[in-house]
Amino acid sequence: MPAFKPELTLAITVSDFKRSAEWYTSVLGFQPVYAVEDIGWGEFSTPLAGANVGLSQSMDGEPVSQSGGATITLGVLDIDATRSELESKGVAFDGPTQDLPGLVRLATFRDPDGNALMLAQSLGDG
């Protein structure tokens, strides 16, 4: 078994590092760990210890291809309150909050480059 450290960085590509860094800090409240603007890379801490989001500016500054990729899913205690707060900051969601009774509630939105993010509120006991 590999000896992994208890940390994770989710790296996503963006077209404008400065704009995206501002969005992830002002809208989601992530905190900058470091930024190397001349190469268009930086990491931002999330509320989950050991889990960071890395932003990597595309080399040509062109829009990011949306042909696949992971969805960053953020666990929340109250999805309705969190969704309302993000909507008050101009975030548009892909549709209504989805309910999987007794399991989870989900709501998907996108960053300025179209990268998918999702809110998830667990409904079960565990």
Domain boundaries, the chain: 7-59, 71-126
pLDDT in tens, 7-17: 889 989 898 99
Contact 29, 122 (CB under 8 A): no
> What is the phi/psi pair of residue 35, to 5°?
-145, 135
The mean per-residue pLDDT over the stretch 44-51 comes to: 93
The mean per-residue pLDDT over the stretch 80-93 comes to: 97
Q: What is the DSSP letter of 95?
A: S
Whether the domain at 7-59 and the domain at 71-126 fall into the same CATH topology: yes
Does residue 60 carry a pLDDT above 80? no
Burial 66-79 (b: 16+ CB within 10 A, else e): eeeeeebebebeeb
Q: Which residues pair with 80 in a beta bridge?
A: none
* Entry pTM: 0.81
Q: Does 3.90.1150.10 match the CATH number of domain 71-126?
A: no
Q: Classify domain 7-59 by CATH number.
A: 3.10.180.10
Report the C-alpha gap between 36 and 126 in whole angstroms. Answer: 40
Contact 21, 32 (CB under 8 A): yes
